[in-house]
């Protein structure tokens, strides 16, 4: 491929020697590809995002090893072209493996696996459970295979970490045959994030293990998990990532009869109801303004009543879910916040913990106020019954690590 390398892409100043045995982590979505090239010791990374794929505005935003920003226009470019360009940008670093984030692994996979024909077919087949995500992941795997057939690829499933849930948590109270014949059950998502932050919290706490954590991944997508001794015991997302908490544009839990009611009352189609619950609900639906909490917070501060209600509902639902998930844990060490909201919004963390007022939680307001913008730390007062932590998530790091492990490179 060197022949086709556009010299404009070549990072002349790069210190390639420092980026030893890097792994390329790819997150291929329906209209975007997020990527990170991560050195063996996780100390150095090169990152970027291809966005608006398929549109005239398709482009790659790339940050070089020296922190310089490049923007490359690829009008109308889809996954294959975007990946070709990304691989050209990164080829000089001689990555030794590619790890793909894959949303749905069904119940077959409880850990990362090396891609072969069977695994690729499974990723495609599981489109029935993740129609928006799995086809894009399969495209990414095939595009890399076509360009670099000799580089090993690994898939890291968002669902895998939750495979330790017991049936009492993962089964739905519906006829048994739907589970046995059609695999209808709770799978859970954001697995790499919940795994990473709970493991990190266990590393940094002074409390001796085993630990019981409630992990709250609060971003545009939101989920909460009960993790005991490194194992997921229950989680808020279900068969799909729609169940559970209120999110940026997703409703989270609603009455399952809502579909029937809307069909009868408004003659809405199942597709329209699904789109409404996934794309027009959550913070956006209640505030009528935005799915971005910063915008909603600004409006609430200016007295916008719907924005205020959106924030109150968001926090109430997170608190209520965390309280209920605590039932899954033999003992509870504390709560770990992560994701764009969990890592940055001091007031949201405070409100959520106020909802959980029967848990003996005491917040150290100064410590809480200092935790944003990527900082990690605890914010419980000394006499708090529960520990409180902010741990910035690092799914790429975890995917790179699992990729190396799956290939026995560590």
- Cα–Cα distance measured from residue 77 to residue 86, given in angstroms and rounded to the nearest whole number: 12
Does 339 contact ligand AMP by CB under 6 A? yes
**Does residue number 292 form part of the binding site for ligand AMP (CB under 6 A)?**
yes
CB of 219 to ligand AMP, least distance (A): 2
Interface characters, 163-202, with ligand AMP (x: CB under 6 A):
----------------------------------------
The alpha carbon of 277 is separated from its chain's Cα centroid by a whole number of angstroms, namely 19
Measuring CA to CA, how many Å separate 195 from each of 31, 62, 158, 398?
Answer: 26, 28, 10, 8
Q: State whether residue 181 is helix, strand or coil.
A: helix
287 interacts with ligand AMP by CB under 6 A: no
Tell me the two tokens of residue 364.
Answer: 């150290």
Is position 341 an interface residue for ligand AMP (rule: CB under 6 A)?
yes
Provide the CB-side half-sphere exposure for 196 (13 A, CA).
Answer: 22
219 touches ligand AMP by CB under 6 A: yes
**Angle formed at CA 146 by CA 143 and CA 148, multiple of 5 degrees:** 100
- Is residue 349 within 8 A of residue 340, CB to CB? The reply is no
Residue 29 sits in the site that holds ligand AMP (CB under 6 A): no
Q: How far is the CB of 313 from ligand AMP (least distance, A)?
A: 14
For ligand AMP, give the closer residue by CB, 193 or 333.
193
Range 258-286 burial, b when 16+ CB lie within 10 A, else e: eeeebeeeeebeeeebeebbbeebbbbbb
CA angle 123, 124, 127 (to 5 degrees): 95
Q: Out of 61, 107, 294, 385, point to the residue binding ligand AMP (CB under 6 A).
A: 294
Least distance from ligand AMP to the Cβ atom of residue 373, Å: 7
Residues in region 234-253 near ligand AMP by CB under 6 A: 248
Active site residue 306: no
- Using Cβ positions, the residue closest to ligand AMP within the complex turns out to be 340
| Binds ligand AMP by CB under 6 A, chosen from 198, 344, 384, 401 | 344
Q: Which residue has the tokens 């799909």?
A: 240
What is the smallest separation between the CB atom of 305 and ligand AMP, expressed in angstroms?
A: 20
Residue carrying structure tokens 């997508």: 221
What's the closest the beta carbon of residue 339 comes to ligand AMP, in angstroms?
Answer: 4
Contact 47, 409 (CB under 8 A): no
Q: Taking a C-beta distance cutoff of 8 angstroms, is the pair 142, 87 a contact?
A: no
Active-site position among 11, 158, 234, 394: 158
Q: Which of residues 299-338 bind ligand AMP (CB under 6 A)?
A: none
Is the Cβ of residue 63 or residue 220 nearer to ligand AMP in the bound state?
220
Q: How far apart are CA 98 and CA 152, in angstroms?
A: 6
Q: Which is nearer to ligand AMP, 297 or 402 (CB)?
A: 297
Q: What is the torsional sign of CA 224, 226, 227, 232?
A: negative
Shortest spacing between CB 247 and ligand AMP, in angstroms: 9
- Tell me which of 28, 286, 293, 363 binds ligand AMP, using CB under 6 A: 293
Interacting residue ranges for ligand AMP, rule: CB under 6 A: 219-220, 248, 292-294, 339-341, 344-345, 372
Catalytic residue positions? Answer: 158
């Amino acid at each position: 491929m060197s022949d086709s390398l556009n010299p404009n892409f070549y990072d002349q100043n790069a210190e390639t020697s420092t980026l030893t045995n890097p792994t390329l982590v790819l997150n291929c979505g329906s209209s975007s590809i997020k990527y990170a090239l991560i050195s063996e010791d996780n100390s150095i990374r090169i990152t970027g995002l291809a966005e608006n794929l398929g549109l005239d505005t398709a482009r790659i935003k790339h940050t070089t090893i020296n922190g310089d920003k490049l923007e490359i226009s690829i009008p109308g470019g889809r996954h294959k072209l975007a990946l070709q360009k990304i691989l050209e940008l990164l080829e000089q670093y001689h990555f030794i493996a590619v790890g793909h984030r894959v949303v749905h692994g069904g119940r077959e996979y409880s850990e990362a696996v090396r891609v072969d024909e069977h695994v690729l077919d499974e990723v495609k087949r599981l489109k029935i459970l993740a129609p928006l995500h799995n086809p894009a992941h399969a495209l990414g795997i095939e595009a890399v295979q076509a360009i670099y057939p000799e580089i090993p690829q690994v898939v890291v499933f968002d669902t895998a970490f939750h495979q330790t849930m017991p049936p009492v948590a993962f089964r739905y109270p519906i006829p048994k045959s739907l589970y046995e014949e059609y695999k209808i059950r709770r799978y859970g998502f954001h697995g790499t994030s919940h795994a990473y932050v709970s493991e990190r919290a266990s590393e940094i706490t002074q409390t001796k293990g085993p630990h019981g954590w409630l992990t709250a991944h609060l971003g545009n997508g939101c989920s909460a998990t009960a993790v005991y001794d490194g194992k997921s015991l229950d989680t808020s997302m279900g068969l799909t990532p729609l169940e559970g908490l209120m999110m940026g544009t997703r409703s989270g839990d609603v009455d399952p009869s809502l579909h029937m009611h809307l069909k009868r009352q408004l003659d809405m189609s199942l597709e329209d109801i699904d789109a409404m619950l996934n794309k027009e609900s959550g913070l956006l639906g209640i505030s009528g303004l935005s799915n971005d909490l910063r915008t909603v917070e600004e409006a609430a501060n200016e007295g916008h009543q719907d924005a205020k209600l959106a924030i109150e509902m968001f926090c109430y639902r997170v608190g209520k879910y965390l309280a209920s998930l605590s039932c899954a844990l033999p003992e509870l060490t504390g709560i770990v916040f992560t994701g764009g909201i969990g890592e940055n919004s001091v007031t949201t963390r405070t409100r959520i913990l106020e909802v959980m007022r029967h848990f003996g939680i005491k917040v150290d307001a100064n410590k809480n106020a200092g935790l944003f913008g990527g900082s990690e730390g605890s914010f419980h007062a000394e006499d708090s019954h529960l520990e409180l932590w902010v741990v910035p998530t690092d799914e790429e790091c975890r995917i790179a690590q699992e990729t190396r492990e799956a290939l026995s490179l560590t």
